[in-house]
Structure formats: structure tokens, C-alpha cells
Amino acid sequence: MAKKIYVGNMNYDTTEETLRQLFSTHGEVTSVSVVTDRYTGRAKGFGFVEMATDEAARAAIGALNGHEVDGRQLRVNEANDRPRDRGPGGPGGGNRERRW
């Protein structure tokens, strides 16, 4: 089963290809994404790598957490699942009726 990994404290110039090469030394990489600002297109300094197996993910996390890439020490750990349901009345607002 694939395991998603959070990669933080990245240099803004670090590319998806750099991450793919770095993580592939620890196992099969199924996907890589560097998060960018939607308005400027500039990297936000973090991203996600998905490894093919849990064992490869654990090996990569152990080896690369604190590893220096492009002048920055990476923070590498298992990604937390983000809650998807943000319906009305939940965080971020929604279709609430204003009552004065």
C-alpha cells in the first residue's frame, strides 16, 4: 500500500525532479508534488512524496529527515490525512443565514 510523506522546510527552488531522485534511492516513488502558491506560482516550501510501500516510506523518512537539500534541512515525516468535509456550518463558513 502506498504511503504519503510530508516534506517541509524546502528551499523554494527545490523541484519535483530533485525530490523524486532523492527519495527513489530508498524505494519506488509513485508521485511527487511541490505545493505552489496559486497566484504567484512560487513554491511554498513544502510538498508531498508518495512511496509504493510502507517499508520504503519508513526508510526514506528515517534517512532524509534532517538531510540538507539546496541549503535547507528537510523535515520529513508521514503525512496526516486532511479532513475533506467542510460543509455548511463547519470550518470556513458556508450557507449560514444572517440574523440581525
Give the tens place of pLDDT for each residue, 44-60.
999 999 999 999 999 99
What is the reported pLDDT for 91?
A: 58
Give the residue ranges of the chain where pLDDT is below 50. Answer: none
Q: What is the pLDDT of residues 33-45, one digit of tens each?
A: 999 999 999 999 9
d(CA 62, CA 55): 11
Q: Which CATH class name applies to 3-74? A: alpha beta
Give me the pLDDT at residue 81, please.
Answer: 77
β-strand 3-8 against 75-78: which pairing, if any? antiparallel
Q: Is the Cβ–Cβ distance between 57 and 78 less than 8 Å?
A: yes
- Which grid coordinates belong to 80? 496526516
Percent of the chain with pLDDT over 90: 77
